[in-house]
Amino acid sequence: MFQSHVHSLRPMTSAHLAQTMTLLSLTSSELRQQIDAELAQNPALELLEERRCPTCHRLLTSKGPCPICSQPQVRGLDEPIVFISSREDFYTGSGMSTEDIPEDNLSAVTEDLPTFVLRQIALELSVQDRPIAAYLLTHLDDNGFLTIDTLDVARYYHIPLERVQNIIRMIQRSDPVGVGSSGPQEAMLVQLEVLAESRPVPPLAEMAIKNGLGQLSHHQFADLARQLKTSLSEIREISHFITENLNPFPAHEHWGDNRHPDEPLSEVYHQPDIIINFLNDSPKNPLVVEIILPLNGTLRVNPLFRQAIKQVSEEKKGDWKNDLERASLLVKCLQQRNHTMRRLMQRIVSLQQDFIIKGETFIKPITRAQISKELDVHESTISRAVSSKIVQLPNKRIVPLSVFFDRSLNIRSVLRGIIIQESRPLSDSELVTLLSEEGFKVARRTVAKYRAMEGILPAHLRRSFISAST
């Protein structure tokens, strides 16, 4: 076993406890937002952009999972491997690289572009504006551009044009930055604007895009330089900057053509927080549990800040100390969260291995309370950790983490099996006896409920299936 040394208690303030709790209940993407926000406003916090493999602690150079751990030597055979990982392909932030789409992200992209965008902005939008945003988002083409006229939308909803434009503006500034624009030019202008908030951009870039997009794409630099009254080298720089940082087709970043065609439309879940898989997808290998952590690097308290605080003037010292406190608190809590999540998954996966590998029929009825006793934490801790988390199973199904605690899933699964097999439509009470023969004692009324859950019609409306066996 590994990492059990952390179990020894470290001092816990009440603030510590409280924040650990809230962090625990956050999903990966929410966590990222939280961290980003703190990172932006707290100078004491520092993100080392390096990527280390969380298991073997080796410095990673390329994207994707650790090359060493991905091809691991045999390690704890029955015990699943649980580790924390950062998935850049999930959380590319506002990065706009046009190339390197990781090859294994087909399982990651389970949300379509409109949903993905809407989720980001839904909270900022007023309730009345949400349907409008949704409407707009359903009219995106493959490039991520709007295919309808904003004026039409305004007329359709009987609202001022300005309001529609505001919504569009919000859409444009969310994740695939520039999505919802009318074309490449507008998209790039938005991207430029967003980029300018975090780093310096060439002063003439805006002009170049506005007036000389044609020349730029045809590499007629001299022509453009004359038009903008600037030097050729300046234009070269701008051109380089643009190709490097802007993407004329926002939707191509990760959504392009490789959608998931087979995924049933029944339930739309979001990007998983946890991925369970066999090594190399081969069922002979041990299970790997990957807990997604949306950071490309290590989060820590900036040591320089720690140094500098000693020399800062008295009146500012309070603020600085406060920042320092917050920063180290966050880091600690994050560690705590990771630790808890890892132990939780470790336990769940070893308890429910049959379910994960062989299917729903083999799920064991376990409760959160039971796990909390085994891990020696409070029930609510497990509750928070489980709720609103989403897991991807080896069979590529995306389900809530709470299915591991579904008491009736196995019975429902058996029930489904019976109904599919037997040729004559069976009444609920007949099903009760059949189920009891299988070892499940449930009331007739309950069977009806399970049927409903599985979307199976009542007996008299059911046409018997053609079955092979009598």
Partner DNA sequence: CTATGGCACGGATT
Partner DNA sequence: AATCCGTGCCATAG
Pick between residue 38 and residue 428 the one whose CB is nearest to DNA.
428
Which is nearer to DNA, 82 or 386 (by Cβ)?
Answer: 386
- Give the footprint of DNA on this chain (CB under 7 A): 367-369, 379, 383, 387, 405-408, 427-430, 441-446, 448-449, 451-452, 458-460
Q: Would you say 227 or 370 has its CB closer to DNA? A: 370
Q: How far is the CB of 48 from DNA (least distance, A)?
A: 36
Q: Least distance to DNA from the beta carbon of 240, Å?
A: 54
Specify the residue, 342 or 384, whose C-beta has the smaller distance to DNA: 384
CB of 289 to DNA, least distance (A): 20
Q: C-beta of 390: minimal distance to DNA in Å?
A: 16
Q: Is 31 left (phi over 0), alpha (psi -120 to 50) or beta?
A: alpha
Q: Cα separation of 12 and 332, whole Å?
A: 10
Cβ 33 to DNA shortest distance, Å:
24
Nearest residue (CB) to DNA, 387 versus 413: 387
CB of 249 to DNA, least distance (A): 42
Cβ closest to DNA, residue 334 vs residue 409: 409
A 10 A CB-CB count for 168 gives 22
Q: Please enumerate in sequence order all residues whose Cβ is within 8 A of that of 320, keeping only pairs 6 or more positions apart, or say none.
A: 44, 305, 308, 309, 312
CB of 279 to DNA, least distance (A): 30
- Asked whether 273 and 389 are in contact (CB, 8 A), the reply is yes
How many CB atoms lie under 10 A from the CB of residue 36?
A: 15
Sign of the dihedral defined by the CA atoms of residues 201, 204, 209, 214, in that order: negative
Nearer to DNA, 234 or 430 (CB): 430
Torsion, Cα of 395, 399, 400, 403 (10° steps)? -70
Residue 438 beta carbon to DNA: minimum distance, rounded to whole angstroms: 14
Nearer Cβ to DNA, position 241 or 269?
A: 269
Closer Cβ to DNA, 183 or 458, answer by number: 458
Q: Rounded to the nearest whole angstrom, what is the least distance from the CB of residue 448 to DNA in the complex?
A: 4
Closest to DNA by CB, 337 or 368: 368
Q: How far is the CB of 155 from DNA (least distance, A)?
A: 41
Order the strands of the 287-292 sheet from edge to edge.
81-85, 287-292, 274-278, 390-392, 398-400
